[in-house]
Amino acid sequence: MHEPALEPQRPEQVYPFDALLANARRSLLEARNAHGYWEGELSSSALSTATAVCALEAHLCDCQSLDARMREAIHERIVRGRLWLIENQNTDGGWGDTVKSMSNISTTLLVWGALNNLQGPEQARAAGGSQAVLGPISRAEAWIKRVAGSLAPEDIARAVRARYGKDQTFSVPILMALASTRRLGASAKQGWKLVPQLPFELAAFPRSWFAAMKLPVVSYALPALIAIGLVRHRQAPSLNPLARQIRNATTPRCLRVLESIQPQSGGFLEAIPLTSFVVIALIGAGYGGHRTVAQGVGFLLDSFRSDGSWAIDTHLATWVSTLSVNALSHSSHWRSRLGSGELSLKQWICDQQYTRVHPFTNAAPGGWSWTPLSGGVPDADDTPGALLALRAYYDARDSQTSPDAIEPERKLREQALAGAIWLLDLQNRDGGIPTFCKGWGTLPFDRSNPDITAHGIRAWLAWIDLADVSLQSRMRKSILRAMEFLKGRQRRDGSWVPLWFGNQHVRDEENPTYGTSRVLLAWLAATQAPWLMQSNKLEVHSRIAMAARWLLRAQQSDGSWTGSDRGSLRVENPSSQAGALGSIEETALAVEVLADLCYRAVMRPEEFPCEPELLDDCRKAMDFGVGWIAQGTKQGTEFPASPIGFYFAKLWYFERHYPLCYSVAALERVAALRRAESFRRGEV
């Protein structure tokens, strides 16, 4: 039973909206790098720092041929990484994924492994001195006992498996790292027996077979499948002689596959944890001299931060750049605000499109990744983001376009439609869209999901009018199927749950605020397509109303939004604290979609009928939310980030850029609504 919507409380002081928007715009534009695009900055991660420390220490112990200068450089990073971990231990004794995250079993266990002070002078020095880690280790062990029941290896393994269920993408690497650091018992053989054997030999088969084989890890975890499966085979071989023989025979082929998919940077997916796990596993399997290890270690050294930490990934430059363009593009003169670099920014986005089959996922040309770096892979969230940004550029062409500009615009259209086709080819049979690979398996990160499907719908709707007749027909069919998928995934309370975002304050760590706000944007975009509105089966207006009412119920008592409605917050968050859980990111996401709903109702009341009471409630909630943003950002001058992002399986992060670009998107939508209301009143 959900609580009724709050009666919005007006802020005591009226916020100067124009100043708020101007400040936020300025902050966003000033966040660009020297090349004219947005690079952003991911939060430092205790999990990444722990895995990197373990990998570098394993390399240091294994590679005796390192020269003194390199050995000292690696020692320094290990020491500083451990010190950063110690300094950022939570008061309860555990560690969260970020410095703003609650303690969790995965990160705490990995840090516990990274702080394990092995015998020997080099290891003691790398630990930062044995005394420096005794206190933090003692507090960590007390936390682990409370959560896992004991420090017994079997209890630890059980706790890790319980966190991830059937998905072995992250549970097996964690157990492998703990076995490597002797945290699963003094007996190495018994510790390795607790690490499930991944079928790395399957990587020797043609890539086109992978989907049919239903691998126990998600599509992007092939490097971990190979490396961790190999170290488990070497450390605790199967008792089945046929299995041992097959694995021994396929090892050279699998190592060649691993080498072939390692990017130029050395970092698999530009991800520090994944790359660290591969390095640790290969060294443990006796392949410390393999080229993949050398490149992986080089990546870890290059991604080390000056404060002693590592992030989960290098950066999300393509993603945050397209988010920024799409945020700014809600105003009429957005290109002029970008200054002289606006054309180079457009070209930069175009240049990030993949034009060849990707060696990692075997993805066809046409998609975009989250980063321009070599470790990125095309996916179904960044591709729609790029398509929407390119449509914004296309629509903002100068009316006095010269003949010399016609060819670039034609090329832009061709690139965008190639991206739309790439998304069409990715659509699953259920009508939804997965993140990376079609039909790979049933694990969460490979299944169709609402937030990415909604993003794809918006991208298709943005470009369908510029497609030829045949492609338009195909896009219409795919959009209808995708809308039916979204209808089926809407919860009875009106919300949708996303895949790639969560909230640590919500039960099951879900974030229906993110999911509902992003999916509702797609349903609102659908109101512009008469052929969708004529479908009685979709029930477009009722779906929109259900989602809007859920967002109204989810608004907190102070005007903010957190990850869900108040009834879904975790029991450790008493109601007196609920108002303090709101984030700039989630509040901005909700305000943006409510402003878009109100805008459509104002501009097209005949085509978009909305109950007056619901429309009035949305308008009040939106204003209340904007007031909270004004206060929370100090009138658009400060944008503290919150950990709402997921990465891999339940790995949290925050991105410095998210609260900034989400706020600008929300405020630009509100400004557009204000202009529309003034127009309707005849004031402009």
The pLDDT tens digits of the residues spanning 537-568 come to 999 999 999 999 999 999 999 999 999 987 88
pLDDT for the residue 11: 47
Using pLDDT thresholds of 50, 70 and 90, give the confidence band for residue 405. low
Q: pLDDT for 117-165, tens place per residue?
A: 644 344 444 444 556 678 999 999 999 999 999 999 999 999 999 988 8
Q: Which residues contact 523 (CB under 8 A, 6 or more apart)?
A: 454, 483, 486, 540, 543, 544, 547
Q: pLDDT for 629-652, tens place per residue?
A: 999 999 999 999 999 988 666 789
pLDDT for the residue 52: 98
Q: Which residues contact 239 (CB under 8 A, 6 or more apart)?
A: none
pTM greater than 0.85 (yes/no): yes
Structural domains in the chain, sorted by start: 1-30+493-684 (no CATH), 44-311 (1.50.10), 315-489 (1.50.10.20)
Amino acid identity of residue 353, one-letter, is Q
pLDDT for the residue 399: 43
Query: Are residues 202 and 254 in contact, defined by beta-carbon separation less than 8 angstroms?
Result: no
pLDDT for the residue 90: 97
| Residue that wins the pLDDT comparison between 168 and 35 | 35
Other Cβ atoms closer than 10 A to 567:
12
Task: Give just the sign of the alpha carbon dihedral 240, 246, 252, 254.
Answer: negative
Torsion of CA 34, 36, 41, 42, to 10 degrees: -140
| Residue that wins the pLDDT comparison between 8 and 675 | 675
pLDDT for the residue 340: 82
How far apart, in whole angstroms, are the C-alpha atoms of residue 506 and residue 240? 45
What mean pLDDT do residues 176-187 have? 91
Q: pLDDT for 360-400, tens place per residue?
A: 878 899 999 999 999 999 999 999 999 999 999 999 875 44
pLDDT of 535 > 80? The answer is: yes
- CA-based radius of gyration for the chain: 26
In angstroms, how far is the first alpha carbon of the chain from the final one? 45
How many residues in total does the chain contain?
A: 684
Buried b (16+ CB within 10 A) or exposed e, 252-273: eebbebbeebbbebbbbbbbbb
Q: pLDDT for 287-335, tens place per residue?
A: 999 999 999 999 999 999 999 999 999 999 999 999 999 999 999 889 9
Amino acid identity of residue 670, one-letter, is V
Q: Which long-range contacts (CB under 8 A, 24 or more apart) does 393-396 make?
A: 393/325, 393/335, 393/346, 394/466, 396/329, 396/334, 396/335
Instruction: Choose the weakest-confidence range: 204-208, 619-623, 663-667.
Output: 204-208
Instruction: Count CA atoms within 13 Å of residue 253 on its CB side.
Output: 13
* Beta bridge pairs of residue 42: 655
Q: How far is CA 662 from CA 379, 474, 636, 675, in A?
A: 21, 32, 12, 20
pLDDT of 358 > 60? The answer is: yes
| Residue that wins the pLDDT comparison between 441 and 248 | 248
How far apart, in whole angstroms, are the C-alpha atoms of residue 489 and residue 2? 19
Q: Which tokens sit at 638?
A: 């400060």
What mean pLDDT do residues 233-257 have? 95
Using pLDDT thresholds of 50, 70 and 90, give the confidence band for residue 212. low
What mean pLDDT do residues 168-183 have? 93
What mean pLDDT do residues 648-666 have? 92
